[in-house]
Amino acid sequence: MKAHDIMTRDVVTVRPSTPVREVAVLMTERRISGVPVVSDAGTLVGIISESDLMRRAELGTEPPRKWWLSFFSDPDALARQYTKAHGLTAEDVMTRKVHTIGEDAELEEIASTFERRKVKRLPVLRDGKLVGIISRADLVRALSKAPEVTRPTVDDATLEAQLVEKMRAQDWLDRSFLNVSVRNGIVELTGFIGSAEQRRALHVLIEETDGVHRIEDNLTIGLPSLRAT
C-alpha cells in the first residue's frame, strides 16, 4: 500500500488569514489535533497543531519573560515567540517548516518519517498541492485491514536452518550460549540470553517465521562469565 491508499482525502484546512479563534473552534468541533494552512491556490504554506496554540496571551500561558534572558536569547526567536502568543491569524501562529510526503510514498517511508521527524501527521502533496493527510492512526487502520497471511508448512530441518540464519543476522543477539532445535514445528530454546528484552525479541523473530507451532523456552537470562574461577 501507498500513501494515497490510506490518506484522508477530505482535509480540513484554513487560510493564512483565518482568525486564531476560528482555527481553535474548528479544531474543537471537528475533533482534530492539527490543521494545514493553504493559500488560495491550494499550496501548503504551514500547519497548526495543538502545540502552536498552547502558549497564548488570552489563556495566560504566554512564556514568562525574564529580563536576564534577553542578554542570551536571539532577538528573532523572542520576536517569533511574541507573534505566536499574540498573533491574530493562522499565519501568525502556524509552523512554517512542514514535513510532507508524496502520494506514492510506501508505508515504510511514511512510518520512518513519523519516527524520524517526531510528528503526528503528514500532509500528502501532489505537484506541491495538498491532496490528503496521513496521521499515525491511519497506519494503525491500515494494519487492522491487512489480510491475514496463511502460513505454509515447513519441515523441521528447513525451519531450524531458517531460524539459525535469521538469528545470525541480528546484531542484538549473542548466540554463543544459545541453542535452538525444532521437532514437529515446536522450537526449543536452551542456554543463556543477555536480557529479557532480547528474549522477547527472539520470541518475535521465531513466531513470525513460517512453520512454527509454538516455542518451548528454557533459556536463562544473563550470559555466563568467561573468566576462570
Summarize pLDDT for 27-80 with one digit per residue, the tens.
999 999 999 999 998 899 999 999 999 989 888 888 776 654 555 566 777 788
Coil, helix or strand at residue 48: strand
Do 63 and 161 share a domain, yes or no? no
Domain boundary among 145, 176, 202: 145
State the pairing for strand pair 121-126/178-183.
unpaired
Strands (E), 2-102: 34-38, 44-49, 101-102
Do 14 and 98 share a domain, yes or no? yes
Which three cell numbers mark 83? Answer: 507573534
How many residues in the chain? Answer: 229
User: CA 92, CA 59: separation in Å to the nearest integer?
Assistant: 17
What pLDDT, on a 0 to 100 scale, did the predictor assign at position 81? 86
pLDDT > 70: percent of the chain: 93
148 to each of 143, 203, 210, how far by Cα in Å?
10, 20, 13
67 to each of 55, 70, 85, 193, 213, how far by Cα in Å?
19, 6, 18, 56, 67
pLDDT of 228 strictly over 60: no
Strands (E), 72-165: 101-102, 121-126, 129-135
The gap between the terminal CA atoms of the chain, to the nearest Å, is: 57
pTM: 0.66
150 lies in a domain? no
Phi, psi of 182 (to 5 degrees): -130, 135
Summarize pLDDT for 111-151 with one digit per residue, the tens.
999 999 999 999 999 988 999 999 999 999 988 887 776 67
Do 8 and 40 share a domain, yes or no? yes
Which three cell numbers mark 95? Answer: 509552523
Do 16 and 125 share a domain, yes or no? yes
229 lies in a domain? no
Do 206 and 96 share a domain, yes or no? no
Do 169 and 130 share a domain, yes or no? no
| Domain containing residue 212: CATH number | 3.30.1340.30
Which three cell numbers mark 75? Answer: 532577538
| Domain containing residue 34: CATH number | 3.10.580.10
Which three cell numbers mark 114? Answer: 513519523
CB-based burial label for 93 (10 Å; 0-12, 13-18, 19+): buried
The CA radius of gyration of the chain, in Å to the nearest whole number, is 26
Domain boundary among 109, 126, 145: 145
Do 136 and 166 share a domain, yes or no? no
Instruction: Domain of residue 19: give its range.
Output: 3-145
Nearest in space to 84 (alpha carbons), one of 11, 33, 23 = 23
Domain boundary among 145, 170, 199: 145
Q: How would you label 21-45 residue by residue, b for 16+ Cβ within 10 Å and e otherwise?
A: eebbebbeeeebebbbbbeeeeebb
